[in-house]
Structure 1
Amino acid sequence: MSWIYLILAGIFEMIGVTMINSLHKNRNWQSLLMLLGGFGLSFLFLALAMEKLPMGTAYAIWTGIGASGGAILGMVLYGEPKDWKRLIFIAMVLSAAIGLKLVS
């Protein structure tokens, strides 16, 4: 269950990061509430995951999901460059997260 919590934490981290961009562009209450909710739930699920998982592993995977997911959402939602080099490095981050899962 800890790994599910960790994945959920990463997904809510991606939502929080996306809402930072949305709030910067729109300045509305919906974006602010989603930003606070996204980061709040992200930290909640990270804390639940860390009850069983080592801190270093949990934090590294949470950060990797958030960073990779944020980059992918930036490409999909905000027209950021979809250069093949960026995709390779995103794949490397995700591969490292999977590797940590395999050795934990």
Structure 2
Amino acid sequence: MSTSLAWALLLVAALLELVWAAALKLGDGFSRLLPSAVGLLVAASSLVLLAVVLRILPMGTAYAVWVGIGAGGVALTGMVWFGEAVSPARLAFLGLILTGVIGLKLVDG
């Protein structure tokens, strides 16, 4: 697997974090079967992709990027789709997460 493919798969794995988090939110504490099942299946898929990527990319970088994109993306998803609070400070700190993710990509290329 090429490094470029590993980075692309890492992006997919991180974006799956948004899907499983939203599905678990819709699953209402595992009280709704379909969204809960989707959330668990997608979470497992995200972890499998991360495991594959770790064969190529440095562990610390890959994990930090996966968590950063996932956390930032989930926070934005919560604001946009679930009406969670939006504030300048919250957006600024999400921007710092994004800056860190981009920095790690540039450093570990």
Into which bin does the TM-score normalised by the smaller protein fall? over 0.9
TM-superposed CA distance for 1:93, in Å, is: 0.1
Cα distance in 2 for residues equivalent to 1:82 and 1:60 = 24
Unaligned runs of 5+ in 2: none
Q: Please list, as runs of the form range in 1=range in 2, the aligned pairs for 1:85-100 lying within 5 A after superposition.
A: 85-100=89-104
Structure 2 residue 79 is matched with structure 1 residue 75 = yes
CA shift at 1:27, angstroms? Answer: 2.6
Runs of 5+ consecutive residues of structure 1 not aligned to the other structure: none
Which amino acid letter does the alignment assign opposite residue 79 of structure 1? G
- Over the aligned positions, Cα root-mean-square deviation in angstroms equals 1.3
Does residue 13 of structure 1 match 2:17?
yes
1:11-52 alpha-carbon deviations (Å, 9 max, x no partner): 111111112211117832220121112101100110111110
In the alignment, residue 2 of structure 1 is paired with which amino acid? A
Letter in 2 for 1:3: W
Q: Quick one: which of 47, 51, 64 aligns to 2:51?
A: 47
How far apart are the structure 2 equivalents of 1:13 and 1:45?
11
Distance 1:4 1:102 in 2: 14
Q: Share of identical aligned residues, percent?
A: 37
Matched, 1:28 2:42: no
Q: What SS does the corresponding residue of 1:69 show, helix, strand or coil?
A: helix
TM-score, with length taken from structure 1: 0.93
